[in-house]
Structure 1
């Protein structure tokens, strides 16, 4: 297991380097000058050039990239052009918000996805199965930002049950934290739950056709015990892969959701960084997203061997 984890981390290094290089070049191809955004259009040319030299933006791109990458390897993600704060400090301040949002969205997605999938699989070809299929298709098809706005209109403006914007730290008020995160988490969880629903149903139907399920039924086990004790655990293995991939979608969706609900997370940080051409912020935040996604997929692979002890993880 340890050898496999070390191998996967070693293989992830080129991926991180590739993403960092792509992000570095892409943000510089976006029209706009970060120094002019910071100083305004009426800035004097000498001031612009002086600040550009201060941040090293007057150097060739390859030189800038090598210098930035060297600093990253030392744990320094640079300094924000807009706020002049260390990028690493800004990320650490906002990371808990995005982690809370992602975890809550994932939990809601599992709750919304797995029980209906089990219900549909055990009632294959019936009305229940058809209804679950329609709901899952709608959940996948509806755009996340549009769904978030509908949730805001319904639960905040009309029913006045939940706040539409803002954030309360977990350590200050747990109930308030949950109330502020519930709507944005639902906006991310509904499409996720629909995806899990479809994959879980297909996986369960495949498991139901296995010999050990027929043997369990022949021994007199009830449908509930057969599903919970034998089918569900084995059906989860391919679904876990989907969940690991969907976590990347949650992180990407957080960029829009955090902007809509005014949450001070990493998604909003990278959005503001792109809007103001704040190169160090965008590069540092995208790099953080990449590392998180790689670690989550590594965790998913490890969970395979936990759920099914027959699976052995070996480094190739």
Structure 2
């Protein structure tokens, strides 16, 4: 799953997020904020404002209600002008992987791909055997720095001619600090989305089922991943929050997104461990965000609703 980001240097997107954040911190209801108000605060036309709101929602920076900010907008740096300059910015702990990436970057065209060059020739340029070349290409593919595609070799008349050399595509939008080849773990937002998917599949399969729209499923994953990445919520804490509401398999859910956000902390909330987690001694139980009654689970953090309030605040199903 690709984690979309607003375009680099998009000032209206950052200004829109800042405006929504100021309204959110001022406890202004989301329903009281209109497109005209946002456009006036940002200084653009209402029609243009709708476009930037859509970009922020698709990128996961603003909630599906198009008014609630989720986490700060951090546009990625624009890619360098040439494949060689980009390859020089990627840090790799393996010298052989560095040679592979350097050869591909030097032979890549304007489309950041190599065409018509066989694996044997590329390995010869890198001063290694084809078997060694293939092994380290797999390391780069696992780190999403390089992608291999089949590229057919055809004659001028369109018929197949000779072998089919692989086409190597440089993924200029992916920049990693290290090549993680031992654990297979991916860095950045993709890692948090994968962890969120594993968590929801285990404790709330209704949030990742095939009956959900792809956009709704992606929004659910982004909401949970955002609490992990920006709120620093441990997976065990999020698991306890979501497991408060048990759903029977034969029951249909009207709005899975509304059900899930009723069980999770508010947007932009930061996790603070309780005294019991720090000292190992269970002390005062935290209070429900709505009814202010103590939680049944003594390890439940502040800022969330109890199971009873979550049951009454979600649509019927």
Query: TM-score of the superposition, structure 2-length normalised?
Result: 0.27
Higher RCO (Cα < 8 Å, 6 or more apart):
1
TM norm structure 1: 0.27
Which has the larger helix fraction?
1
